[in-house]
Amino acid sequence: MSRSVRLVPAVAALLVLAVTGTACDSGARGAPGGSGAGDPYFPKAGNGGYDIGHYSLALDYTPAGRRLTGTAVITARATRDLSAFHLDLSGLRVDSVRVEGEKARWSRSGQELTVRPRAGLSKGETFLVTVRYSGTPRTLTDPDGSREGWLPTADGALALGEPVGSMTWFPGNHHPSDKATYDISVTVPKGLQAVSVGEQTDMSTKNGRTTYRWQAAQPMASYLATVAIGRFDITRTTGPHGLPVVTAVDPGQAEASAEVLAKIPEILDWAEYNFGPYPFSSAGAIVDRPRDAGYALETQTRPFFPGPPDVSTLVHELVHQWYGDSVGPASWRDMWLNEGFATYAEWLYDEDNGGPTAQETFTSLYEEGPDDIWAFPPARPSGAAHISDSPVYQRGAMVLHKIRRTVGDDTFYDIVQGWAAAHRHGTADTADFVRYVERKAPGKDFRTIWKDWLYGDGKPAHA
Ligand code: TRP
Ligand code: ZN
């Protein structure tokens, strides 16, 4: 329903009363916002009717007892008139919700937290939502069986959010299409540390508890947020142009991680040469124990590793900062734009550092790679359980290699740098990419690449 529906006079009169401030709970204009962002793989992820600009999260966590209390102050803008709107939150207890400082009604159903502000919201209006919540955060099991959300570790906890795990530790618009800046403060028992994304702005201890404040000044999708609580060896160095590089390493992993993490500045140099300027105001890594999680993740500015990464995995997660983090996927269908690029960067790094050429990697995958590479086309994963399968990674990288062979190195690097610049801090989908490549290489024929390699079922007949 929209404001243009014709109203019978009695209803119109009520509406006037509501707008002029007479107490009337049902006077909110507009319709409820949607419960999803329209994602083809995760239909309930994200919400409709507003955009979040900033999250200010204040968390307090005690590992013994696994208790979290949180306050989320969210700045959002209505993209249409709203009588109600949704946030995503999984588990935990909601203690109160305020909109613009006024108590709001709310209800919960599954991961949907529905908020009904007293006054309703007008299209274009900026509003502040404050949610107080508490409880023991959940670990989620994804459709593919992997674990994400809030993962307890031996000395603390770790938050991983791809694709939907961040809704276990803060309420929000949990879909990659809505990026925002973040302030994250985490209070933990004195003696423990809390590491997050961006730059640390403060640390203070009071009554036996220490608060660490972090700030992500560039827009971030919520799945790329993280908090790591525990004991860490923190190292601060600099990368290209004085870029702050902060690594946080579980003390038991420190010795085995030192040599590979020392490569971060030179890998960032190499990546800037190939992909253009690093998109964020700091970099680094978080290394926890191998059993703390089943995979690495490209958490923004500070990728996460379960144990010391090998160089390829480090390159992969660092290059995600350009492709995946800065240029985000418009929906989870576009995952190959993250993983194909990060995987192809591993091949390029090998090629530039005395390993096999990208052509050799391509050929060996085509000729003797596992059959599951061909299970589905990279641009159309065969369901939510498959968005992290090998067609998205390896065959996605093969698509990029085919493009490189078609256009030559000069145009290829123009394309990958231009793509990162064109969508910096934004999102894009596969159709955007196809158009972009065709515009950068007029006269080249990409039809087979799109039809057979990107969108086609089965193994393409020719390498
Ligand atoms: N996207 C991560 C990366 O490429 C890996 C990852 C996250 C993953 N979640 C997953 C892999 C689930 C397999 C299953 O670095
Ligand atoms: Zn990846």
Q: How far is the CA of 3 from the centre of ligand 2 (A)?
A: 44
User: Hey, is 396 helix, strand or coil?
Assistant: helix
Q: Whose CA is nearest to atom 9 of ligand 1?
A: 162
Q: Band the pLDDT of 392: cuts 50, 70, 90.
A: very high
d(CA 344, CA 338): 10
Q: Band the pLDDT of 21: cuts 50, 70, 90.
A: very low
* Tokens found for residue 229: 């609580």
Query: Structural domains in the chain?
Result: 15-228 (2.60.40.1730), 232-321 (3.30.2010.30), 327-454 (1.10.390.10)
Question: What percent of the chain has a predicted confidence (pLDDT) above 70?
Answer: 94
Q: Is 298 in the pocket of ligand 1 (CB under 6 A)?
A: yes
| Cβ 195 vs Cβ 247: under 8 Å | no
d(CA 23, CA 457): 60
Q: How far is the CA of 296 from the centre of ligand 1 (A)?
A: 6
Residues 197-215: tens digit of each pLDDT: 999 999 999 999 999 999 9
Mutate to test the pocket of ligand 1, among 41, 141, 146 (most ligand atoms within 8 A of CB): 146
Q: How far is the CA of 285 from the centre of ligand 2 (A)?
A: 15
- Give the CB-side neighbour count of residue 293, counting CA atoms within 13 A: 28
Q: How far is the CA of 88 from the centre of ligand 2 (A)?
A: 24
User: What are the angstrom distances between the C-alpha of 394 and each of 126, 214, 399?
Assistant: 43, 35, 9
The number of the ligand nearest the C-alpha atom of 148 reads 1
* pTM (global) more than 0.75: yes
| Cβ 90 vs Cβ 123: under 8 Å | no
| Cβ 325 vs Cβ 197: under 8 Å | no
d(CA 437, CA 444): 10
Q: In residues, how long is the chain?
A: 463
CA-339 nearest atom, ligand 1? 4
Residues 133-161: tens digit of each pLDDT: 999 999 999 999 999 999 999 999 999 99
Question: Cβ atoms within 10 A of the Cβ of 120, count?
Answer: 21
pLDDT at 434: 98
pLDDT at 28: 63
pLDDT at 19: 37
User: Hey, is 132 helix, strand or coil?
Assistant: strand
Strand order of the β-sheet with 227-230 is 139-141, 147-153, 156-160, 227-230, 193-196
User: What are the angstrom distances between the C-alpha of 283 and each of 59, 216, 230, 314, 426?
Assistant: 23, 11, 20, 12, 19
* Tokens found for residue 42: 């995760």
pLDDT at 29: 77
- Does the pLDDT of residue 362 top 70, yes or no? yes
Residues 65-116: tens digit of each pLDDT: 999 999 999 999 999 999 999 999 999 999 999 999 999 999 999 999 999 9
Q: What is the DSSP string of 84-134?
A: EEEEE--SSEEEEEEETTEE-EEEEETTEEEEE-SS-B-TT-EEEEEEEEE
Strand order of the β-sheet with 82-88 is 31-32, 82-88, 112-116, 105-109
